[in-house]
Amino acid sequence: MMKVAVARTPRMGIAAGLIAVLAASVSLAPLAASQNGKPIAVTPPGGAPVSFADLIERVSPAVVSVQVTTEMKPAERNSAFNPFRGLPGFDEYEDEFGDDAEPSPDEGREGEALGSGFFISSAGYIVTNHHVVENAREVTVTLKNGDQLEAQIVGSDEQTDLAVLKVKKSGSYPFVEFATRAKPRVGDWVVAVGNPFGLGGTATAGIVSADGRELLGGNYNDFIQIDAPINRGNSGGPTFNLNGEVIGVNTAIFSDTGGGSVGIGFAIEANAVKQIAETLIRDGKVVRGWLGVEIQSMNQRLADAWSLKTPNGAIVRSVTSGGPAEASGIKRGDIIISVNGEEVKDNRQLTQRVGSLLAGSTNNFRVIRDGKEQTVRVTVRARDDRALATTDLDPARADMKPPRPGPDDVKVAGGTIRSLTAEEIKKFDVGAAGAGLIVVTVEPRGSLARSDIFPGDAILEINNKAVKSPKDYQDAVAAAIVAGKRDVIARVGCGNQERCGDLTVLRPIEIAAAG
């Protein structure tokens, strides 16, 4: 199975400080391809390097190796949180702590980990990864000239996997700047410098192979994909453009062996790193804004069903009782399209926008409600990730079984439905008035199945209107057909599924044809 792993560094017996400089000789010839019967010619750029040696020599004094001594109790080893754990195919490299002997429950384990980092100011502030210094007891950095300096952790942020250190020895240190004026383009040359496998000062070169990558668990980051080889120990190290500016912090690698790089790595984008680093230096921690909503991304079918011009925005599928959104007047079904004038393309971008807001600040949220745009002023609060983190279903829902067919079932396209019973109304929490239909059966290739609706799910609304009976459902579909709509939007409550409250799209013509 193909695996991807966050680049982490185990204990190494190799002394840091060995320098491996990559001088890449590059020769570019004009490229030709055929398009519409005519060749496309690409002239090599005048600035194409014949060697990266000058660049590496200039920036490498700002890059450091990070050695960490850790101490953890056995019970803590598996509970420590990292935002990149649990990625499908992304196996976190776990450090080896202590010897093979099992310690007593109260005995701590000591281990070592290696990573990379780089100076961002002459005062001695260093950026690295959170997972490099996680559970650190002592931190030492090794400079290019071999000097070893003690460092302290200024602040660390699990959600972005970033941390800031500061060397304890006063002095003026060589540092590098972030490339914040323009984002790198796919195809741009990049050079990564770091401490892979304890071989400090190693440089590798390649190009930006993709941008805007989304990794599960990295909701607050935009990742740049690079093909400059990075390996275990490169974590926290910089990737440079040809101007010697940092375009990203190396964080994860793709690996089919669970070990070495196969040439695909991921770096946290420079603008995000700069913002988090400045916050950690100023405050020692990152306090994110909290809106108090559950959201889902817009897509083209939802946009078409709502007659929207673009499939951009984040749909509010539920509003937390007593939260900032409820207090400001944001409602379920609102489509948030911008925050303080910055466009929101999807739910991930809304999470980033809100997470960057200061707790207690009042902000302008542009929403679409009932087809019309309006601005809602929202005062966000501090986010409590521990209080909000829960993956458990309501116990009453978790033990629900798909309903058995009965005489009250009504045939529709793709399956059968009926009104919720009094007991089911309580389990689906649809209100005292009692609304909603339960899906009894689903045909394998019918419209319900194509919309990822399963037996035991509840259809709570059609086009933002509650449905209490199969007749309400059929009337809503008929009204959509009369209005010339190809799709209707259904709000689905979960049975034993985890996507409670999702909006999904049904094709009303297919439903009507089932008669």
pLDDT in tens, 395-422: 554 555 678 888 888 888 788 999 888 7
Which pLDDT score is estimated for 260? 55
Which range, of 95-99, 162-166, 238-242, averages the lowest pLDDT?
95-99
170 pLDDT band, cuts 50/70/90, is very high
The DSSP letter of residue 393 is P
Which pLDDT score is estimated for 85? 38
One of 116, 156, 157, 161 is an active-site residue; which one? 161
For residues 493 and 497, give the distance between their C-alpha atoms in angstroms, rounded to a whole number. 9
The DSSP letter of residue 313 is S
For residues 120 and 346, give the distance between their C-alpha atoms in angstroms, rounded to a whole number. 32
Per the structure block, which two tokens stand in for 306? 């709502």
Degrees, nearest 5: CA angle 365-494-383: 40
User: What number is the average pLDDT over the span 272-295?
Assistant: 90
For residues 105 and 124, give the distance between their C-alpha atoms in angstroms, rounded to a whole number. 39
Which pLDDT score is estimated for 219? 61
Q: Tell me which H or E stretch contains 500.
A: none
User: What number is the average pLDDT over the span 21-47?
Assistant: 46
For residues 235 and 403, give the distance between their C-alpha atoms in angstroms, rounded to a whole number. 50
pTM to 2 decimals? 0.65
Range among 25-39, 199-213, 405-419 with highest mean pLDDT value: 405-419
Whether pLDDT at 306 is above 90: no
Whether pLDDT at 61 is above 80: yes
One of 60, 95, 130, 131 is an active-site residue; which one? 131
User: What number is the average pLDDT over the span 470-484?
Assistant: 86
pLDDT tens digit sequence for 447-465: 888 888 888 888 888 887 8
Which residues in 108-131 are b (16+ Cβ under 10 Å) and which e?
ebebbbbbbbbbbbeebbbbbbbb
161 is catalytic: yes
**DSSP conformation letters of 198-242:** G-TTEEEEEEEEEEEE--TT-TT--EEEE-S---TT-TT-EEE-T
Question: Mean pLDDT, the chain, as a whole number?
Answer: 76
Share of the chain above pLDDT 90, in %: 25
For residues 26 and 442, give the distance between their C-alpha atoms in angstroms, rounded to a whole number. 59
User: What number is the average pLDDT over the span 6-30?
Assistant: 33
Whether pLDDT at 26 is above 60: no
152 pLDDT band, cuts 50/70/90, is very high
One of 60, 156, 235, 261 is an active-site residue; which one? 235
Range among 42-51, 413-422, 486-495 with highest mean pLDDT value: 413-422
Whether pLDDT at 153 is above 90: yes
173 pLDDT band, cuts 50/70/90, is very high
Contact 149, 168 (CB under 8 A): yes
Q: Tell me which H or E stretch contains 396.
A: helix 395-398
334 is catalytic: no
Whether pLDDT at 430 is above 50: yes
Range among 166-180, 241-255, 407-421 with highest mean pLDDT value: 166-180
Degrees, nearest 5: CA angle 42-191-233: 145
Whether pLDDT at 103 is above 80: no
Per the structure block, which two tokens stand in for 409? 């079932």
Report residue 153: phi and psi, to 5°.
-85, 115
Contact 158, 82 (CB under 8 A): yes
Q: Which of 38, 24, 44 is nearest to 187 (CA)?
A: 44
Share of the chain above pLDDT 70, in %: 70
Which residues, at least 6 apart from 376, have a Cβ–Cβ distance to it below 8 Å? Answer: 328, 329, 330, 334, 364, 365, 366, 367
More confident residue, 148 or 44: 148
Which pLDDT score is estimated for 379? 93
Which pLDDT score is estimated for 46? 64
More confident residue, 211 or 251: 251
User: What number is the average pLDDT over the span 253-260?
Assistant: 57
pLDDT tens digit sequence for 262-272: 668 888 999 88
Which pLDDT score is estimated for 484? 80
User: What number is the average pLDDT over the span 305-312?
Assistant: 86
For residues 322 and 83, give the distance between their C-alpha atoms in angstroms, rounded to a whole number. 27
More confident residue, 291 or 36: 291
Report residue 52: phi and psi, to 5°.
-100, 5
Whether pLDDT at 330 is above 90: yes
